Chain A
Amino acid sequence: MAAGFLTRTARRAGQRLLSSLPALAGVLVFTFLLMRVLPGDPAVFFASGPNAGQAEIEAVRKTMGLDRPIPEQLVRYLADIGTGHLGRSMTTGQPVLSDLRQRLPASLELTFCALLIALALSIPLGILAALRQGSLLDHGVRLACSLGVCVPTFVSGLLLIYVFYYLLGIAPDPTGRIDVFSASPPNITGFLLVDLALTGDGEGWRAAAGQLILPAITMALFVLAPLARITRASMLAVLGSDFVRTARSLGLSGRRVVLVYALRNAILPVLTIAGIVFSTMLGANVLVEKVFSWPGVASYALDALLSSDYAPVQGFVLLMATIFVVVNLTVDVLYGIADPRVSVA
């Protein structure tokens, strides 16, 4: 039976992956067109200066492959991506792939911590609000949710810095992942918290966590509202259903009914919107990384973007779309595990 379950899950994952391939191919073409067809000539930008001669501009254009026809550029672009060449960043001088690989853990660590905080807060709040529908707590949660989606992440991040860094002085200087004066951290997985825990550096771990906590809370606050709202709504629907009434009438403890029977069913819609929430967070990453000078992929792409450096932006957008597809796939597989009734189709 376990084997059957595994095959089913694997088949489901495979089919979902296949069906997301056309969208991914569309993404590739779209990023390419976005960056190449539209105005703005990078060759002029990367020539020595505004007074660069025509010959020099032509030379730069040639080394960048910009003198070929658009379809040929597209084919070469696709071939490059197939072999893992995402181009070279003109600003850092490094291959984009290695730049992205080096910075991705910082972004992922931030996003996962934020998601964890958001889930840890929103699910209990949503359940409590549903259990005491119409109570003060319920109204409080709804009010907080309505307000939470209205505050832009960059404003809430800056205000958190003001309160916890300037007023209270308990948060570290909001610049990056590590204190500028500390020794360079170990590099095993790239996830600072994991690396420092592996090397048993308690003090370093606390320092890194201190740097991480404000940006993570900023991002969590932004997605708290949709998660809490959907938990409350689906919990309310489940609590009113027949099987919960039956479980109650059989004399099962309230805790067991809510946490085992009701929650397992109520969590499905939460899983469904977790994908959308993750997409919002990938976008919010850009703003949060900018506010906290976080050395992640988004701030890297933003710097490149403001200096019309194509390759890193293309690589970043592609990476974000790929992560998003993978996340949706994961959500889908999880959904199948949580609810075996969902068919593979």
Chain B
Amino acid sequence: MANAAPTPSGTRPEARPETRSWHDIVRETLKANDVRLVTYVPDNVLKGLIASVHADPFFTAFACTREEEALGIVAGAWMGGMRGILLMQTSGFATLANVLASLPVAFQIPTLMMISERGTLGEFNIGQALVCRTMRPVLTSLAVEHHTLTRLDELEFTVDRSIKQAMATRAPVALILSPLLTGGKVFKA
């Protein structure tokens, strides 16, 4: 996976035209970091990523009934030696404060989370717009490292380094997929 090779330490990623889609970059970077388990509660923006991890036998991917459940599975798998990531949308993240505090944060389990951001930049559902405001305050108050992914040319670097830091420091990390990167979900009147 030449494209997903980690950037040599201390250097910025070389600026080059990125021809891959955001979800191809994410999938390849997960693979390069041996993240084999993908649990998710589906979302329209995540559709391409979910389809591509299902299509690749490297990954064990399945839908869960709740984000809490999906997080517990990823935590257990990591302790058993298998790296995993939980995919969800903003409103799903809002159900996680208690289990984040009491499981990955308290037990120092590097739980990787990828959240497709709803509620901003063209949201049409007031509930999504309101719950979105709780996401970064919850992450900040639990001191969970988080990055908002807006640019295709920075994506591989940010995802790769975030996974490596989470594993090295045994801490959860949240990667927020901005509509600036994915196009988001738009209102079709």
Asked whether A and B interact, the reply is no
